[in-house]
Structure formats: C-alpha cells, structure tokens
C-alpha cells in the first residue's frame, strides 16, 4: 500500500508545472489529489494562505467549490494551533476543540490537514470519507506533506536558477559593437542551466572597444554568479577609464576577498583599436589564437595568474596587432577539452581548432563560431557538453573589403610583437 501511495504522489507531482508561483503549484497539486485519489477516501480539498492573525481560503475543490473562497479561520482556533505545532492533523467531531459551526462552513466530511511552505505558510485540507484505516490515512498525509515540500523547494531552486540565467543573459551583449573594418561573433553554451563562462564587448571610447572572455571554476549557479561579478567589475573599470592592468588587479582582489578560496576565474581582457592594435591582459586563460594570412598561428599567452587565489597578483599589459584578413579566436577550455568519449582523455585540442580555423579564414566571423561549435560537438558524438564552452571570433576585413586606418604604432609586416608567440606555420 505504501508503494502505491508513493507512486500515486509521484505521478501527481510529475504532472505539475513547477515554473509558476508556489501558490499556483499548490492549487494544481490539490486539484490533482482530489480528482485522482478518490479511492483513498479524499472527496474535496481546500487551500488556505497564512495572514496576520488568520488563514484565508484561496481555493476550494468539490463540495462548496469556489463559493466559500475568502472565508477565514483564526489562528487562535484550537485545531489551528495544533496544526501549527504538529504540521499534520486529522479532524473529526470527536477531536478536542472541534467547532461544528465553523467546520460546517467548509466541509461535510471529516478533515485531514497538512501545513506546507514557509513565508507564507499554506494549509492543504482534505474532506475525507469516514474510514477505519487511520494509519493509512496518516501515511497519505505524511506523503503529501513531504512530497509537496520537496516540490516547493525544487520549484524555488529552479526559479532562482532561471533568474540567475536571466541575469547572466542580460549581461551578454545583445548585439556586437561595430568597429570599422572588423567583424565580431560569439556564442556561449552552458553545461547546465547556467554556466561559469561569460563574454563581453563594449565601447571604451570612440574607435576602441573592449573584448573579454572569462571562465569561472566549475559550472552551475555558483560559477554563474562569479562570472556575473567579473563582467560587472570590468565594465566599472572601463567606465572609470582605469588601465586594463589596474582593473584586473582590483578585480582579483575583490574575488580573493570574497573568501571563496576554492574558486577562481581565468580571464582574457583586451582593448582593440580601429587600427588593429590590441592591448591585453591574460589572467591564466587559454591563450587566444591569432591566425595570419600567411598560415602562421600565434598565441596570446598569459601574463598573470588566474584571478582569486593570490591577493597581490600582478597583471601586466601585452600588445598585439590584428592585420587585414587576420582572425583572432578567443575560447574557453570547454572547447579544446571536449572529449571523444567522456573520460577517455582524447580531447578536441588546440591543433584541431587551429586546422579548422585555417580552413575557414575566408568565412564570416559568425560562420567560424558556428562551425567550431558544431565540429567540437560532433567530435564528442553529440553528447551533452560536460563543461561550459564559449567561442569569440574577431576578424579584420581585408584591404580589398575595407581600407585600413593607418597606424604609426603597428608592428612591421615582417615581424610580430615579442608578446605574441608563434606556435605553428
């Protein structure tokens, strides 16, 4: 019998949408129980919401129906005080403190009530046909109370996660800023409902935009909240016109002082000028790859540790130049660490990424992002992502497509800044 009760309750809860309010969910649960548990003796149901000194009936199924909604029961009623203390009560005319005139307003039957939820508290009360199996009825009530409580907590958690996702999505740029002579495209895919990867692109001043990609350790809600703080901090630093190295150092101290020593953030942050000059700080992030038109591939290595563990970490600026026709790919480790079979150690890797981008150099930035993600997903046999993955592509148009702005500070065509590293030809 117990297994049947649990299965029935599980069936009820599976049919309930947890995306609405607690109150809407409780209304649905009560209706489902009344309509589907008649063999257990349940004939009607009522839902009460806690108020200042009373409980107000907000939903009624069976018997009097909606005609009695709005009626109240004072908290001083002895059976209500017992319910607040015991959380479950079974009420008959023989129950001490029973008020026949009060009870008759709500039900013709004996009643069983359970208290659920917190702030506000709700009461689910059921009209029950008189029966001898008191233990079975008590088991039904315990099952209802426990299962509904779990459903409420699940719904609240899911609601918080949805809110966190909405917050995180609101931080991502709705559309990329326009910088003459450049194309930008990015996409981020969380491994869970929310993730720890985040990217950004914002105007710093006329002819200059910021580029950022961060990866908070782990994934899920804690990582998402930390990633949110990173983007907020970067934007505040840019608004105050701080040097990018200063912004990184301040952000590192904030993360360190949060006390979450087990958490850290890898972060690439740069400011790109219309001339193609890029000043950047790489705080322990995967080195972005710069693809030249002659087949060389350069990486923009770390020039500081990940943010968080070290309070006094130092971050120095480095410099690069994106020439006409070249492509910069910034990515999180979820892309290159994608495994063919989960746990087999056979990763997608940087070499496959580089080879694919070299074949896509003539494609628009958006197409490069799409193909990279599609190829990496297929490499893992289309299994769900085990880690958050983000790709950000910057492509500078060729001289035929757009006349570059002259740059007195650009490195010559025969050499690169010593702060970028050649990794392949």
pLDDT in tens, 201-220: 999 888 999 999 999 886 66
Q: What CATH number does residue 205 fall under? A: 3.60.40.10
How many of the other CB atoms lie within 10 Å of CB of 162? 13
Classify residue 234: in a domain, yes or no: yes
Q: Does one domain contain both 380 and 403?
A: yes
- Domain boundary residue, one of 116, 143, 162: 162
Q: Does one domain contain both 20 and 63?
A: yes
Please give the Cα distance from 262 to 273 (Å, whole number).
Answer: 36
Which pLDDT band, with edges at 50, 70 and 90, does 1 fall under?
very low
Q: Does one domain contain both 259 and 399?
A: yes
Q: Does one domain contain both 39 and 65?
A: yes
pTM value > 0.85: no
Q: Which of 303, 276, 310 is nearest to 288 (CA)?
A: 303
pLDDT tens readout for residues 137-179: 666 667 676 666 666 666 565 666 666 666 666 667 878 999 9
Classify residue 167: in a domain, yes or no: no
DSSP letter at 338 equals -
**How many distinct structural domains can be found in the chain?**
2
β-sheet bridge partners, residue 422: 298
Q: Does one domain contain both 184 and 148?
A: no
Q: Does one domain contain both 296 and 323?
A: yes
Tokens of 196: 């720890």
- Domain boundary residue, one of 162, 180, 195: 162
Backbone angles phi, psi at 46, to 5 degrees: -140, 145
- Cα dihedral sign, 405-411-415-418: negative
Q: Does one domain contain both 111 and 192?
A: no
pLDDT tens readout for residues 17-64: 555 677 888 888 888 888 887 777 888 999 999 999 999 999 999 999
Q: What CATH number does residue 55 fall under? A: 3.30.450.40
Average pLDDT score, the chain: 83
- Domain boundary residue, one of 129, 162, 195: 162
Q: Does one domain contain both 281 and 187?
A: yes
Residue 269 region, left (φ>0) first, then alpha (ψ -120 to 50), else beta?
beta
Torsion from C-alpha of 14, 15, 16, 19, nearest 10 degrees: 80
Classify residue 139: in a domain, yes or no: yes
* Exposure on the CB side of residue 373, measured as CA atoms within 13 A: 22
Q: Does one domain contain both 154 and 177?
A: no
**Are 328 and 289 contacting, i.e. CB atoms less than 8 angstroms apart?**
yes
Q: Does one domain contain both 145 and 246?
A: no
Q: Does one domain contain both 181 and 284?
A: yes
Q: Where are the alpha helices (DSSP H) in 44-133?
A: 78-86, 100-104
Q: Is pLDDT at 425 greater than 60 in this prediction?
A: no
| Domain carrying residue 60 | 2-162
pLDDT of the residue at 159: 63
**Are 57 and 69 contacting, i.e. CB atoms less than 8 angstroms apart?**
yes
Q: Does one domain contain both 250 and 384?
A: yes
**Are 226 and 196 contacting, i.e. CB atoms less than 8 angstroms apart?**
yes
């Amino acid at each position: 019998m117990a297994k049947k009760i649990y299965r029935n309750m599980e069936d009820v809860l599976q049919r309930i949408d947890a995306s609405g309010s607690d109150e809407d969910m409780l209304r649905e649960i009560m209706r489902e129980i009344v309509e589907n548990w008649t063999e257990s003796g349940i004939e009607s149901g009522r839902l009460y919401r806690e108020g200042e000194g009373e409980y107000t009936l907000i939903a009624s199924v069976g018997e009097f129906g909606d005609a009695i909604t709005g009626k109240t029961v004072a908290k001083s009623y002895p059976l209500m005080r017992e319910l607040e203390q015991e959380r479950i009560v079974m009420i008959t005319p023989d129950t001490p403190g029973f008020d026949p005139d009060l009870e008759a307003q709500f039900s013709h039957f004996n009643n069983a009530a359970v208290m659920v939820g917190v702030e506000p508290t709700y009461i689910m009360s059921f009209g029950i046909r008189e029966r001898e199996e008191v233990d079975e009825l008590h088991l039904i009530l315990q099952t209802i109370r426990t299962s509904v409580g779990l459903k409420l907590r699940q719904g609240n958690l899911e609601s918080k996660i949805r809110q966190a996702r909405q917050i995180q999505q609101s931080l991502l740029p709705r559309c990329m800023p326009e910088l003459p002579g450049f194309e930008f495209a990015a996409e981020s895919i969380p491994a869970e409902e929310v993730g720890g990867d985040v990217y950004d692109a914002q105007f710093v001043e006329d002819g200059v935009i910021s580029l950022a990609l961060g990866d908070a350790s782990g994934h899920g809600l804690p990582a998402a909240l930390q990633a949110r703080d990173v983007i907020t901090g970067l934007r505040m630093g840019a608004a105050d016109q701080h040097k990018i190295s200063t912004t990184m150092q301040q952000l590192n101290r904030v993360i360190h002082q949060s006390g979450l020593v087990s958490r850290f953030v890898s972060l690439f942050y740069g400011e790109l000028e219309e001339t193609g000059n890029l000043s950047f700080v790489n705080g322990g992030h995967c080195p972005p790859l710069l693809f030249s038109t002659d087949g060389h591939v350069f990486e923009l290595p770390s020039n500081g540790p990940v943010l968080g563990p070290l309070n006094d970490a130092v971050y120095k600026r480095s410099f690069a130049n994106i020439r006409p026709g070249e492509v910069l790919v910034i990515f999180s480790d979820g892309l290159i660490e994608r495994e063919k079979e989960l746990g087999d150690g056979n990763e997608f890797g940087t070499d496959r990424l580089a080879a694919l981008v070299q074949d896509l150099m003539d494609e628009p930035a958006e197409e490069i992002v799409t193909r990279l993600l599609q190829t990496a997903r297929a490499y893992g046999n289309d299994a769900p992502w085990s880690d958050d993955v983000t790709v950000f592509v910057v492509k500078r148009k060729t001289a035929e497509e757009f006349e570059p702005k002259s740059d007195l500070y650009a490195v010559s065509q025969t050499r690169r800044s010593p702060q970028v590293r050649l990794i392949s030809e």
